[in-house]
Structure 1
Amino acid sequence: MSTIMDRTRGAAASPKSPWPETPWQAAGRRLVDCPSSSVGLVVLITLLLSVPTAALIGARFGNGPLERALAAGQGSLAFALLGGLLGAAVGLAWGVAATALGTRAERSLMRLAERLAGLPLVLALPLAAGLAGRGLWVLAPAAALTAAPFIALVTRAELRTLLRREFLAAAQAAGVPPGRILRRHLIPNAALPLAAAAWTALPRALAAESFAGLLGLGLPTPVPSWGAALAAAIRAGDPAALAAPALLLALTLWALHAVGDGLRAAVGGRSQHAAVGGGRP
């Protein structure tokens, strides 16, 4: 009798959902289950909430080194988001075009991506600012360049791996046009790993802008940034003013990388969800 009651309580404590878990839900669960990525998410959310609050408090009541450093993060975080999104979009389009346009175009595009990825692209932003000025129309594409070649290589590799899957081979054998295969099968199945690859554009854009700001070639002077704050603290010889933006920048970069690692680990564990929609051709 007690055994039957224990089983009944156990079944009630862990009910099964009538709906199957989607690949995105499974990846999100694995991301949250990873301790480092969970901490990274908390850090990023805290920073995103603290930075505008610190800027508002500083404008009204004055502030100390930490408040000034948080307020300086407004420009850095906004630019990292802009440059990261642009770099991710360019890299994804680059990889998709290389896969869709045929063998000759693929070789040319990927050869260019490989050569660019082997260069110290963090120098692209200060070089562009020094040669063409510090306008946003110059800095944002230069920041995008720091991530786009890498994302293009990952995109092409992921799409090529999917092309060897059985359900895609069946679609090709059935005479489905390449454009429809790309739109209906490749891109939906590659969405999760490509999203994880695109995330890497954010820390790359932030690091590039901070390096350029440290050299005095980052965002324009009225726009606050951690790189500019570091440069000003070094010129003034103020250790307290130097420590706060340096720690916040390092913490943000760590959090972005931790979340990126968690995303890649979450995508790598989606064995039972390898094909979206059942992988039907």
Structure 2
Amino acid sequence: MDRTRGTAATPKSLWPESPWRAAGRRLVERPSASVGLVVLITLLFCVPTAPLLGNGPLERALAAGQGSLSFALLGGLLGAAAGLAWGIAATALGPRAERSLMGLAERLAGLPLALALPLAAGLAGRGPGVLAPAAALTAAPFIALVTRAELRALLRREFLAAAQAAGVPPGRILRRHLIPNAALPLAAAAWTALPRALAAESFAGLLGLGLPGSVPSWGAALAAAVRAGDPAALAAPALLLALSLWALHAVGDGLRAAAASGETPRTAGGGRP
């Protein structure tokens, strides 16, 4: 009997694993990242339904998380977009622009940017239109620096040098080589804007300079519990905030590890260049 019959072509060879699917598999294989994902999914389900669960300290703390998590998503998306655009522009515009843009990013990254939210709230009000750009500022310089570093590292790779030496047009290099290989590490860098925005808003809320009083948040709940001297009311939002920040960082670490593990150069078509 021919043992090799039917084994020449397997589903894996017929349907090669995409870089994003491989990164997702590597992400969930990390225990801390898997637990972080479960925590985030549980919070996203429980926070909107908290008013239906009761009116105890935990339920009130869960309800307060709606404003914090929504703001973290808004500020994080703004910060990620600004940081990615910043780093890409610095890499694409030439050495002179790169020195200026990255010098600004390095100077801003050395400042206590967590104070940006309370300063913005004190100077211009506590509306989301003021606080969201301030939250974006806490993350954008760091993401810009990581973006520039990732793109520069890719530009030094042999397959890109070979494409440039072969006379491949810059637009095709960008579309078929640079973007597909940079997408995963840049997505991991962009993720870091979420915990930064959440921590910044919570810090501002604890000072009484966060989201408006009509918008519930963990920072405001912590401030109210401190003023009332109520340990039970303090424990629940503090625990949920710490758990959310841990989960976001755990998933971010998993994303970076997944991106670092998938170093085989790929083109836009999914194969090797």
TM-score normalized with structure 1 length? 0.90
The Cα of 1:167 is off from its aligned counterpart by 2.5
Contact 2:40 2:248 in 1 (8 A): yes
% of aligned pairs identical?
A: 84
- Counterpart of 2:154 (choices 139, 153, 162) is 162
Residue equivalent to 2:29 = 33
Whole-Å separation in 2 of the counterparts to 1:112 and 1:40:
33
Q: Does 1:54 align with 2:50?
A: yes
| Distance (whole Å) between structure 2 residues aligned to residue 111 and residue 43 of structure 1 | 38
- The equivalent position to 2:195 in structure 1, one of 187, 191, 203, is 203
**Structure-2 residue corresponding to 1:19:** 15
> Does 1:274 pair with 2:270?
no
Question: Equivalent residue of 1:54, what SS?
Answer: helix
Secondary structure at the counterpart of residue 271 of structure 2: helix
Give the letter aligned to residue 31 of structure 1: L
Q: Is contact 2:67-2:216 (8 Å) kept? A: yes
Task: Kindly state the Cα deviation for residue 279 of structure 1 after the two structures are TM-superposed.
Answer: 4.5
The answer to whether the Cα contact below 8 Å between 2:159 and 2:265 also exists between their aligned partners in 1 is: no
**CA shift for structure 1 position 177:** 4.3
Rounded Cα–Cα distance in structure 2 between residues aligned with 1:20 and 1:184: 18
Pair 1:99 & 2:91 matched = yes
Selected match of 1:112 from 83, 104, 118? 104
| CA deviation vs aligned residue, 1:155-196 (integer Å, no higher than 9, x gap) | 111111111122322332244444443344212210000000
TM superposition shift of 1:217? 0.4
Cα distance between partner residues in 1 of 2:69 and 2:85? 24
User: Are 1:193 and 2:185 matched, yes or no?
Assistant: yes
Structure-2 separation of matches of 1:145 and 1:34: 30
Gaps of 5+ in 2: none
Q: How many residues align?
A: 267
| Cα distance in 2 between the residues matched to 1:165 and 1:237 | 58
1:100, 1:178 within 8 Å by CA — same for their partners in 2?
Answer: no
User: Aligned pair 1:260/2:252, yes or no?
Assistant: yes
Alignment-mate amino acid for residue 43 of structure 1: V
Amino acid at match of 1:37: A
Contact 2:87 2:144 in 1 (8 A): yes
Distance in 2 (alpha carbons) for counterparts of 1:68 and 1:54: 7
User: In angstroms, what is the RMSD of aligned CA positions?
Assistant: 2.0
- Structure 2 length-normalised TM: 0.92
Distance 2:24 2:80 in 1: 20
Equivalent positions of 1:112-151 (< 5 A) are: 112-151=104-143
Structure 2 Cα separation of the partners of residues 177 and 110 of structure 1:
26
Letter in 2 for 1:32: V
Amino acid at match of 1:247: L
- Distance in 2 separating the partners of 1:196 and 1:144: 16
Secondary structure of 1:97's aligned partner: helix
What one-letter code is carried by the residue in structure 1 that aligns with 2:42?
T
Q: CA deviation at 1:16?
A: 5.0
